Amino acid sequence: MLRILTVLGARPQFIKAAAVSRAIAGRPGLEEVVVHTGQHFDANMSAVFFDELGMRAPEHNLAVAGGTHGEQTGRMLAGVERVLRDVRPDWVLVYGDTNSTLAGALAAAKLLIPIAHVEAGLRSFNRRMPEEVNRVLTDHASDLLFAPTRTAVENLAREGITGDRVARVGDVMYDAARHYGALAEERSRVIEALGLVPGGYVLATVHRQENTDDVERLATIVEALAETAAELPVVLPLHPRTRKALAAAGLLGAAERVLRVIDPVGYLDIVMLERRARIIATDSGGMQKEAFFHRVPCVTLRDETEWVELVESGWNRLAPPSDRTAVRRELRRALDATERGASAPDLYGAGNAASLIVDRLVGVASARLVEA
């Protein structure tokens, strides 16, 4: 029995992991144990959330939340280490770029347990971002690096990570978009509930610390979205951090007057909101890709993006909130774009990344047994 221990902590990681968990469950001789660090625990990550994903609840919940980056990562590392000593897995599987990712990788590395990193090789080249530090350290600690794109493979090669350690498998988020897009069409009624017209609204999300902790950047985003709302409704599911930041900056009232501010919604509802939007404006890394998968133009409210292929192909537009003119200009250009529904380049594989990941995990483990 090949035992895989998966470390997760943020909502998007569970969505990515669900695709791989389905592939693991479909293979005889494999067992998965899921550890939830508790990094992003909220009411939406209840049994309903896991039911939506078709994923069982994690076997271990470390309930680590809050504190500085160092405090949080340290507590997670200690908690994951305890579970690893008990479970003794053959692989530790980590996703993306959160503190949970780094803690899982470090705990495994200290115990000499092989590490596999999904979404390896992404780089924004901005070391001020905690996520960038997490990505780089996790990649260099990992034994298997599952890169989603050609650019990610090239980034790893520049850092000396090459050969059989690296596998370009495509993006597991594409697997998720295909699977949950179909489910959302069947089950979600959010468009009707909010009285929205398909293709007749803008979906916006803001949650990154670089935006929520900077009053000027936050004000720029709200003002630009307010201008857009004069033309089309702007739906803003409000992340708790963003609500608190808007209130502290005295911007919450203005936002609620001109934008369709709503509470966070379930995953299938957010997928449906993405699929039916005219454009998406976001600082989320995952939503940039989901917009592309659903063929909806996207404006990224950041100074840079790790998904450079989307910008190069014209599907994504960078709008640094430090530049008020740029945010307004890129929102306008996206609204005027004609790409929606058009054919798009093959950037992220064929939607079978999860099965390729599991094949490689099994293959490498089998080769180790033969060598032993």
Q: What is the set of active-site residues?
A: 207
Encode 4-27: b = buried (16+ Cβ within 10 Å), e = exposed.
Answer: bbbbbbbbbbbbbbbbbbbbbeee
Residue 38: strand pairing partners: none
End-to-end CA gap in the chain: 16
CA distance 136 to 140: 6
CA distance 4 to 115: 10
Number of C-beta neighbours around residue 53 at 10 A: 21
- The token duo for 81 is 């280490």
CA distance 232 to 230: 6
- The token duo for 135 is 């990505």
Residue 233: strand pairing partners: none
